[in-house]
Amino acid sequence: MWRRSLGSIQFSVEHRCSSDDRGPSLCVSDAANHVLLRFDCLYRNPAYHVDPKGLDEHHSLPPLADNIAWTLAELERNLAHSLSRAGFDLEDPPDWSAAQLTQVLVEAEAAMRNPPAGLQELELDLLAARHGEKWSTYPEDILPAWVAEMDFPLAEPIRLVLQRAADRGDLGYPISLRATGLPEVFAQRMQARFDWGVEPSRTEILSDVVQGMYIACVAYAPERPGAVVQTPIYPPFLGAVKETGRRLIDNALVVGEDRRLHFDLERLRHQVDEHTGMLLLCNPHNPSGRVYRRDELEVMAEIVLERDLFVVSDEIHGDLVYDGARHIPFASISPEVAARTVTLTSATKAFNIPGLRCAVAHFGSAELQKRFNEAVPRHARGGIGLLGIHATLAAWQHSQPWLDEVLAQLDANRSLLGELLAKELPELGYFRPEATYLAWLDCRALDLEPTPATRFLRGGKVALSDGRHFGAAYGNFARINFATSGAILTQVVERMKSALASR
């Protein structure tokens, strides 16, 4: 239970869940723990009580409103008055400042909106009933650890947005994308998390990140078709380059002494010729979970400026970085770099809502944005669903406590996976990721034919992503997804091991 003292009073939040209602209760109590005010921000019957121990005055909260926001605004405006109605004699002036009250209410809001995420309580039969790609591609006897979806329950603020929309039949057309407030919320989040100042008006809302990559491949420097990609790479990078008629330049990553993948910047200088117009960057990197350091990105930026390249920077994993590394948006390196960079991101990866199809493209110059919009007009790009927009707002504005909990669990899983692999499959090379819940596995020493992923699938009934899809040279690699409970992850590795016995 969350608790905070403010002078002579105390705030606490409790999450309630019964068969017919659920939601948080915020209590304000005196030093002797008598509850003076209680706000039950329940889904069906929201109400507040003044001095439930004595008078028990009971009032309804406004129905259909965001009753958490209503409660906090009421407390900010009227706390002294409400306390006096509850018979509490407040000192004049009170023994706290307005700024202290605001701070407690900010923390109370985070606690009210985010009950414990329940990340270990995963049930295989409920997961198997999901309709997403991860759980519905293979037959039921296969344990999936491939496509980048997490097994965890939704963040409560997102779940509520979806539930309310369904309950109210609130699925009309979205209002104009600019009026959704999403560009501003995106700008606030980038500033707060990455110290990156972005211009809301240079933001476009797309249905997904990969769509943005394809459009950028069509829009920029078509007269210089060479496009640099760094393999191994999330497969749609390869598809975007090839399917839009560009020429793929593979500046393959190299394994450093730190057993991490690094740019091969010297080679890049030689590979880029006058017919090369673009660089597609994936940072943090899928499949390895590498988070490029500032000095690496700065050298990359030098080459980009020297060779007049446009950059598409896919930063969808930027919110999933573990302690010890820091996500640096490529466009934040310098204004000159920003002016040639399109940054693509979304809430879908970190908050696990890829089925809702909503992403953001940020353009470092008006010219970049214009060319993008002219390349494929908005109607040809398809409309954006109302649910995706509102779930993204709920994610970025209210769901950070959920993400913090998820990151702690993923961090534990990243270690557990390392331990399990060292014990059960010691010949396999594990690239411990600095970000994301995906890990790149070097299976060369195991010599698994035709590919490791095929062998794990056939012999162990566990689905990993096949390394070949990340570049032709990676047939002996596989990518694993560890965003699940410790118990399921343990089963995944056990099944991988059992595949070896099936040789």
Binding site for ligand PLP (CB under 6 A): 148, 208-210, 234, 282, 286, 314, 316, 346, 348-349, 354, 359
Residue 239 C-beta: closest distance to ligand PLP, Å = 11
Q: Which is nearer to ligand PLP, 132 or 153 (CB)?
A: 132
Peptide linkage before 225 cis (omega within 30 of 0): no
Q: Which is nearer to ligand PLP, 12 or 286 (CB)?
A: 286
Instruction: Using DSSP, state whether 68 is helix, strand or coil.
Output: helix
Q: Which residue is nearest to ligand PLP (CB)?
A: 208
Residue 351 C-beta: closest distance to ligand PLP, Å = 12
Residue 287 C-beta: closest distance to ligand PLP, Å = 8
Question: What are the φ and ψ backbone dihedral angles of 307, each rounded to 5 degrees?
Answer: -100, 10
Rounded to whole angstroms, how far apart are CA atoms 249 and 278?
10
Q: Which is nearer to ligand PLP, 12 or 244 (CB)?
A: 244
Q: Which is nearer to ligand PLP, 208 or 442 (CB)?
A: 208
Rounded to whole angstroms, how far apart are CA atoms 156 and 164?
12
Q: Which is nearer to ligand PLP, 68 or 210 (CB)?
A: 210
Rounded to whole angstroms, how far apart are CA atoms 393 and 385?
13
Q: Which is nearer to ligand PLP, 208 or 434 (CB)?
A: 208
Q: How far is CA 241 from CA 215, 225, 300, 345, 374, in A?
A: 10, 9, 20, 19, 19
Q: Which is nearer to ligand PLP, 49 or 390 (CB)?
A: 390
CB 452 within 8 A of CB 477: yes
**Side by side, which strands form the sheet with 477-481?**
429-431, 438-442, 477-481, 465-466
Q: Which is nearer to ligand PLP, 398 or 479 (CB)?
A: 479
Residue 273 C-beta: closest distance to ligand PLP, Å = 27
Q: Which residues pair with 443 in a beta bridge?
A: none
CB 205 within 8 A of CB 386: no
The string over 124-160, giving b where at least 16 C-beta atoms fall within 10 Å of a residue's C-beta and e elsewhere, is beebeeeeeebbeeeeeebbbbbbbbbbbebbbbbeb
Residue 208 C-beta: closest distance to ligand PLP, Å = 3
Q: Which is nearer to ligand PLP, 231 or 286 (CB)?
A: 286
Residue 359 C-beta: closest distance to ligand PLP, Å = 5
Rounded to whole angstroms, how far apart are CA atoms 356 and 206?
11
Residue 133 C-beta: closest distance to ligand PLP, Å = 10
CB 268 within 8 A of CB 251: yes
Q: What is the DSSP letter of 435?
A: B
Q: Which is nearer to ligand PLP, 313 or 409 (CB)?
A: 313
Rounded to whole angstroms, how far apart are CA atoms 477 and 397?
38
Q: Which is nearer to ligand PLP, 314 or 442 (CB)?
A: 314
Per 3-state DSSP, what percentage of the chain is helix, strand, and coil (rounded to 5)? 40, 20, 40
Rounded to whole angstroms, how far apart are CA atoms 377 and 114?
39
Q: Which is nearer to ligand PLP, 52 or 239 (CB)?
A: 239
Residue 490 C-beta: closest distance to ligand PLP, Å = 24
Residue 210 C-beta: closest distance to ligand PLP, Å = 4
CB 176 within 8 A of CB 182: no
Residue 369 is inside which H or E element, if any? helix 366-375
Residue 223 C-beta: closest distance to ligand PLP, Å = 27
The string over 360-376, giving b where at least 16 C-beta atoms fall within 10 Å of a residue's C-beta and e elsewhere, is bbbbbbeebbebbbebe
Question: What are the φ and ψ backbone dihedral angles of 242, each rounded to 5 degrees?
Answer: -70, -45
Residue 148 C-beta: closest distance to ligand PLP, Å = 3
Residue 190 C-beta: closest distance to ligand PLP, Å = 17
* Overall size of the chain counted in residues: 503
